[in-house]
Amino acid sequence: MELLQSTIGALLRDNARKHPDRDAAIFHADEVKFSWEELDFLADKIAKSLLAIGVSRGSHVAIWANNIPEWLFVQYATARIGAILITINPEWKQEELAYALKQSDADVLIMCPGFVKQSGSKSHYYDYISMVRSLCPNLTEASCSNEFPRLKRVILTPGASERGMLDWQEFLAAGREIGDDALEKISTAVSPYDPAMIQYTSGTTGFPKGAVLTHYNIVNDALLASLLQALEANDLICGPVPFYHCFGSILLNLGGLVSGAAIVIPDHSFSSRQTLAAIEKYGCTALFGVPTMFITELAEPDFEQFDLHTLRTGIMAGAPVDRELFEAVSQKMGAAEMTIAYGLTEASPVTHQTCKSDPEEKRYSTVGKPIEHTQAKIVDPSSGLELPDEAVGEIWVKGFHVMEAYYNNPEATQQNIIDGWLRTGDLGLRDAAGYYRIVGRLKEMIIVGGHNVYPAEVEQSLRTLFDAEAELLQVVGVSHPVLQEVVGLVVKPKPGKELTLEEVRTRCEGKLEWPKIPRYLKMLEDYTPYMTVTGKIQKFKLAELFAAESDS
């Protein structure tokens, strides 16, 4: 199929004209919904307010909030006038916020006052106002501080006010001076090849890098991912994934835009119970999430009480998926056409995806084939030479979705994009039928006595061996005085179950090669402190659990 030559703003206007009264976005926890016509109106209203405070095409507007309605409105409003949206992780601390605001040259910051993160029985309040106050003690409505010379305005979402910050009603009132003709002139000048977003990578080592993504990049990536799910205007996509991440802002928000499907947001932050309740209440047909989200949903104590019969498809992405989980999602949740997607922020994000017509085994053991208009290859990371089928190497991709650059970081851009090919940093292999399988991150590969051990492969084997005992398990490298590294295993047990290291080793003997057998074991009741807001496991944090033992 042909790729779209359209901007986000133009697509929104088109939906509003074709389906004015059809639901576009439903916020379950807030008990509000918006039609395509209402979203289009709100995008115009906020776009006018942005213009009134000095934002223009190419300006940088940062947003710092969880999944609240205003996040979606601002995404559409900035796109309409060609401003660039800077998406900031809701869980970032003051130092990370300062880095992002400065590195991205943010002109405006739109934020909620803060939010509460629940971790088991503990809770933590992220006080955004206090953090911004610390960074900008002399904040006024027209200036931040010398440390952030580009930042001129801080705007608070509804229900909050603070000296020196523009509250939401004041912000909206400012837009009354901008006429429809002025807005139309600016919006029609926006090009599909203009940058739409700067999205920061996870930054597990050092500070994150900002990937510059254009309208053309992200609109078409959302389109192809939606087509592989066969999404249409009568579908409802349940999306507990965070807006700040490419999964939320592109695959979910823009996936709804390009397909015409309504998006259903269960809560401001991930809640397995709210997700199940939202699917049941609205009759959602698609569900998005990373594997840990699906695992948590399936583990809800009264899971069987929720009616999920309307589920058909969706996307699981962000980490390898094993057969047991795939079958549980397909059978217990009813999403028989669930797809597995692979990609990265720098590629807008999807580069590979399965579909319902793929052979059953390929639908869970691989990430599918490259999506349309995409080239992919397996490369020896040392020599840069392309490798044959079944050989493990780094995955490189090329296509319409590759980012424009890392913002203000030409050195990193040059290192990661070579002749149009994007280095993913992921290790994988391609089979003879053209399907790709991920075996781990290049930087997470474990070298045990000269043997390369790929965490994803080991985890797949261990899940089969310990399915009865383990709800979640992760493999990490642990330093060793003789072998350089060995395998450490972290297990979250199922209720009432436990494991010992001796039992793990005994069961692995004869089934796994010796370098892959865990030499250390940690039982962990709560994985939450080791997860990102997207639900991904931070392996470097898990590895720290073994540091003291490996020294002995």
CA distances from 435 to 144, 150, 162, 386, 461 (A): 51, 46, 54, 16, 20
Per-residue confidence (pLDDT) for residue 204, from 0 to 100: 47
Q: Which superfamily does 445-550 belong to?
A: ANL, C-terminal domain (3.30.300.30)
Say which DSSP state 272 is in: H
In the predicted structure, residue 75 carries a pLDDT above the cut 70: yes
Percent of the chain having pLDDT more than 70?
A: 98
pLDDT, residue 548, reads 63
Band of pLDDT at residue 49, cut at 50, 70 and 90: very high
Q: What integer pLDDT is reported at residue 123 of this predicted model?
A: 84
- Find out whether 214 and 194 touch, Cβ atoms under 8 Å: yes
Across residues 347-366, what is the average pLDDT?
Answer: 97
CB neighbourhood size of 388 (10 A) = 10
* pLDDT score of 122: 79
Instruction: Specify the pLDDT at position 141.
Output: 74
CA–CA separation, 104 vs 89, rounded Å? 14
The answer to whether the beta carbons of residues 522 and 499 sit under 8 Å apart is: no
Superfamily holding 8-426:
ANL, N-terminal domain (3.40.50.12780)
Pairing of strands 451-453, 470-480: unpaired
Q: What phi, psi does 272 have (nearest 5°)?
A: -65, -40
Q: Per residue in 136-184, pLDDT tens? A: 988 887 777 778 989 999 999 999 999 999 999 999 999 999 999 999 9
Distance in angstroms (rounded) separating the CA atoms of residues 197 and 401 = 13
DSSP 199: E
pLDDT at residue 13 in the model: 98
**pLDDT for 225:** 98
Tokens of 387: 């490798």
Hey, what are 513's tokens? 């090669």
Average pLDDT, the chain: 94
Sign of CA dihedral 124, 126, 130, 135: positive
pLDDT of residue 142: 73
Question: For residue range 87-105, what is the model confidence (pLDDT) as tens digits?
Answer: 999 999 999 999 999 999 9
Read off the pTM: 0.90
The confidence score (pLDDT) of residue 552 equals 47
At 550 the pLDDT is 57
Averaged pLDDT for residues 328-356: 97
- Please tell me the predicted confidence (pLDDT) of residue 202: 67
| Distance (Å, whole) CA 536 – CA 393 | 23
Cα separation of 113 and 116, whole Å? Answer: 11
Question: Smallest Cα–Cα separation from 36: which of 317, 243, 259?
Answer: 259
Please tell me the predicted confidence (pLDDT) of residue 206. 62
Taking only the tens place, the pLDDT of each residue in 200-237 is 986 544 678 999 999 999 999 999 999 999 999 999 99
Compute how many other C-beta atoms are within 10 angstroms of the C-beta atom of residue 401. 28
Burial readout 419-429 (b: 16 or more C-beta within 10 A, e: otherwise)? eebbbbbbbbb
Residues of the chain with CATH 3.40.50.12780: 8-426
What is the per-residue pLDDT for 549? 66
Residue 356 above 90 pLDDT? yes
Mean pLDDT of 10-15: 98
- Give span(s): CATH 3.30.300.30, the chain: 445-550
**In 215-308, at which residue ranges do the beta strands (DSSP E only) sit?**
236-238, 262-265, 286-289
Which tens digits make up the pLDDT trace of 497-545?
Answer: 999 999 999 999 999 999 999 999 999 998 888 888 878 888 888 999 9
Task: Quote the percentage of the chain above a pLDDT of 90.
Answer: 86
Confidence (pLDDT) at 264: 99
Three-class SS state of 355: coil
